[in-house]
Amino acid sequence: MFGLINPLYKILGIVGLVAALFGFGYYKGYSAEKARHDAFKAEIEASVLAQEKVNQQIIKRQDLVTKGIANEYKAKIARLESIYNGVQYNSSAAVSSDPSTTSRINEKTKNLVLDCSITTQQLLSLQDWIEEQRKQ
């Protein structure tokens, strides 16, 4: 029966069959890889959404901590200013007997003490802020 078919047609038939089998295998492989890629892509998108929610929660918590520390800091600075603005410094340690010079020294001393207190409070508030941020 195969003797009646032209050898050229036999070769073309075999080449066609091999090409069809190759195409079918390529399609199946491509389909499987595309399905794996789509599943991976969906998994990554879900992970990204979950991480974005976590990041938003962290940002909200950090904002709350920052606002709380800032409000605390403002209140403490206001308290320091009210304390040091009401303090009268002893002028017996004055360098000069001129009262105007003594009042200028007292004013500078008052400003220096207040500045030191504010700087100290800034450092303490910064330490509190860092500790609160670490508690995550």
pLDDT in tens, 14-61: 999 999 999 999 999 899 999 999 999 999 999 999 999 999 999 999
Q: What's the pLDDT score for residue 86?
A: 63
In which band, very low, low, confident or very high, does the pLDDT at 100 lie, cut at 50, 70 and 90?
low
Task: Report pLDDT for 106.
Answer: 58
Long-range (24+ apart) CB contacts under 8 A made by 127-133 are: 128/69, 128/72, 129/65, 129/66, 129/69, 132/65, 132/68, 132/69, 133/62, 133/65
Could you tell me how far CA 102 lies from the centroid of its own chain?
Answer: 52
Q: Is residue 90 scored above 70 in pLDDT?
A: no
**Residue 118: which domain range?**
2-134
pLDDT at 135: 80
Q: Does the predicted model carry a pTM greater than 0.85?
A: no
Domain count, the chain: 1
